[in-house]
Amino acid sequence: MPKLTIAIDGPAGSGKSSVARRVAAMLGYVYLDSGAMYRALALKALRQGASLNDEAGLETFTKETHIELKPPRPEQEAAGAKNGVFLDGREVTQEIRTPEVAQAASRLATIAGVRRVLVAEQQRAGAGGGVVMEGRDIGTVVFPNAELKIFLDASPEERAERRWKEHQEKGEKMTLAEVFDEVIERDRRDRERRVSPLVRAEDAVLVDNTAMGIEETARLIVMLAGDRQKQLAGVAGGNP
Ligand code: DC
């Protein structure tokens, strides 16, 4: 069976990371979290006090930054990490998971030059197929020819509650209302930006998992992947 490229896009809290990681594990594919790259870059910009408005400077800044995604170590995976994230050779897997970094990532992600550099890296990382990549523009820009595209969504209330639970588990004291506002603001920016906004690709399958768990959602996507593989094998073998 041919190995597929699977693109999973959707808003914050839609379950992309957990579902995409599970799908990759079930299929024996590589999992890549493109959002972690925007977050790592944002962490560096915040640490260095870089201006988030200097577009030309930020493109150079991105080119000079080395971001690497690796499979998580078992203890990291047990703690919920989906990729080990390295920024200029130093591990930042935990540090990038704060609301402040998320907001800065969403702001950096509006800049065309930043996206150009990161998209090229994402395309290189996923080049061989057999990959599940998640983000906002994977099916529309990074891998427009992906054999399977999923647009994952859930109600804003459910997405905020999932994020809030994650913060609770880490002992962070944010109220549900604060998390709701953070998620809604980031969604708005991600959907309304001029370059590569979050939109459902025309050929993406919409999966609303408001009332579904991670395992159920992952199984559905694995089933769709199996259908797609059969379809492709049929085409290659000359079947209608
Ligand atoms: O998936 P995430 O919440 O970790 O992503 C953080 C931010 O990065 C998100 O608000 C928008 C941006 N992003 C993007 O613009 N394109 C992607 N492919 C992935 C993330």
Please state, in angstroms and rounded to a whole number, the distance separating the CA atoms of residues 144 and 226: 20
Q: How far is the CA of 96 from the centre of ligand 1 (A)?
A: 12
Cβ 39 under 6 angstroms from ligand 1: yes
Please state, in angstroms and rounded to a whole number, the distance separating the CA atoms of residues 92 and 172: 18
Q: Which CATH architecture has domain 30-128?
A: 3-Layer(aba) Sandwich (3.40)
Cβ 18 under 6 angstroms from ligand 1: no
The string of pLDDT tens digits covering residues 126-173 is 999 999 999 999 999 999 999 999 999 999 999 999 999 988 988 888
Mutation choice for ligand 1 from 52, 94, 136, 195, CB with most ligand atoms inside 8 A: 136
pLDDT at 83: 92
Domain 1-14+134-233 fold = Rossmann fold (3.40.50)
Side by side, the strands of the sheet bearing 148-153 are 30-33, 131-135, 5-9, 148-153, 205-208
Cβ 106 under 6 angstroms from ligand 1: yes
pLDDT at 77: 87
The closest residue, in CA terms, to atom 13 on ligand 1 is 35
Please enumerate in sequence order all residues whose Cβ is within 8 A of that of 81, keeping only pairs 6 or more positions apart, or say none: 72, 93, 94
The string of pLDDT tens digits covering residues 161-207 is 999 998 898 888 899 999 999 999 999 999 999 999 999 999 999 99
Q: How far is the CA of 112 from the centre of ligand 1 (A)?
A: 14
- Please determine, for residue 239, whether its predicted confidence score (pLDDT) is greater than 80: no
The predicted model scores a pTM of 0.95
Same fold flag, 1-14+134-233 and 30-128: yes
- DSSP letter, residue 150: E
> Where are the extended beta strands (E) located within 67-190?
67-70, 84-87, 90-91, 131-135, 148-153
Cβ 105 under 6 angstroms from ligand 1: yes
The closest residue, in CA terms, to atom 3 on ligand 1 is 12
Where along the chain do its domains lie? 1-14+134-233, 30-128
Q: Which atom of ligand 1 is found nearest the CA of 193?
A: 15
pLDDT at 240: 56
Cβ 13 under 6 angstroms from ligand 1: no
Percent of the chain with pLDDT over 70: 98
With contact defined as beta carbons under 8 Å apart, do 83 and 71 qualify?
yes
The string of pLDDT tens digits covering residues 93-125 is 999 999 899 999 999 999 999 999 999 999 999
pLDDT at 172: 83
H or E stretch covering 33: strand 30-33
